[in-house]
Amino acid sequence: MKKPPLSLSPLKSKAELTASGIENLVRSMLQKHRTPFMIIKRCQLERQFERFRKALPEVTPFYAVKANPHPKILRTFLKLGAGFDVASAAEMKHVLKLGAPSDRIIFAHTIKTPEDIVTARRRRVRMMTFDNESELYKIAKHFPRARVLVRIKVANSGSVVELSLKFGADPDQAAYLLEKARSLGLIPFGVSFHVGSQSKNTENYLQAIELAADIFEAARDRDIRLKVLDIGGGFPIQHFDNEIGVNFERMASQIRQSLKNHFSRDVRFIAEPGRFLAGPAGILVTQVIGRAFRNNKNYYYLNDGVYQDFSGMVFDHCRYEFKTLRRGQKILSTLAGPTCDSFDTLALNAEIPELYVGDAVYVKNIGAYSSASAVPGFNGFDPAKLLVV
């Protein structure tokens, strides 16, 4: 079958101009780099950071390193004044090596190895979270005078990933745990919560803020003056062009008002955005390496899959919008990754034009929880090269 030429349709709107700009970027990068590759737009990283600061000016963002730990991404946020949320000594060393001050790092994992706690002490990363009494004994043994925030269990209703299933102390135990921390020679420093990943339900945040305010008051009754409230991450982004139900500015406005209503001005607010800051900056570009006709549908095999940069479909329960550089009638088609595992299937009913071997298929808003959790070299296929532009 003769492969028809690619064509561009005329532009008619601002949205199409934006789409055209992305297409032109993809075309340009295809001329210089072999697929698969992931483009990270630095201007988008900066835009998302400023968007967060504008909507929540009282809240300091501590970028969640696990979302995407690429050094150029971390340096961008470091220059913008972000702090960093790390979950291990390895992540801690990574950001410190890039020049992050130790007082702009929170060790935000409630279960830490003794070795990692020792590393935090030696590197003077004093702020860390906990959610159980056993962890307090461990921290007290290896890092006396550490500043500890009790992470509480809060509602995760409507979130894509419910993190309170695994982490968080019962709120009615929080004041006791903070008092226990003080008795062990630690510094009770604040309260932390996480409403779950990709949370579109603002009520989760509002309820959690009220619970935290009650704990601050209960701590004061025990002569404990807490200084920090960590409202976690989970701030949602759009993965599809026409996706509804995602309005960060409206959500942030309600969060900001709730913080103002429940806390005094001497309380410091921090957050742990990861996906919100890095996700919209990423564009993954793949190519068709094979095609077939199966189950009465076109079936396309790409050179990137769930074991590589589409790993977020498994570990992050994420769904993506597949785009091509071709025009024409869109047909329900199946997209699969390159490995010899049938599990490596990306979409059973993607609406795309007919494609040919060598055609590009790309995905926007994939800068977080994708390349970060990719498996290096599974079945001999490496993850995408990451390009910061």
Enzyme catalytic residues? 340
Residue 21: count of CB within 10 angstroms of its CB: 11
Q: CA dist 374 to 68, 84, 305, 382, Å?
A: 11, 22, 9, 9
**Which residues pair with residue 192 across a beta bridge?**
151, 230
Residue 187 φ then ψ, to 5°: -105, 105
CB 89 within 8 A of CB 120: yes
Q: How far apart are alpha carbons 46 and 292 in whole angstroms?
A: 42
Residue 191 φ then ψ, to 5°: -125, 145
Q: CA dist 112 to 100, 107, 115, 122, 170, Å?
A: 21, 9, 8, 15, 19
Q: How far apart are alpha carbons 383 and 364 in whole angstroms?
A: 17
Interior angle at CA 195, CA 149 and CA 139, nearest 5: 25
Cα within 13 Å of Cα(151), Cβ side: 26
Q: How far apart are alpha carbons 146 and 132 in whole angstroms?
A: 15
Residue 162: count of CB within 10 angstroms of its CB: 16
Q: How far apart are alpha carbons 82 and 70 in whole angstroms?
A: 15
CB 330 within 8 A of CB 343: no
Q: How far apart are alpha carbons 77 and 65 in whole angstroms?
A: 10
Q: How far apart are alpha carbons 210 and 279 in whole angstroms?
A: 29
Question: What's at 256, amino acid-wise?
Answer: R
Residue 186: count of CB within 10 angstroms of its CB: 21
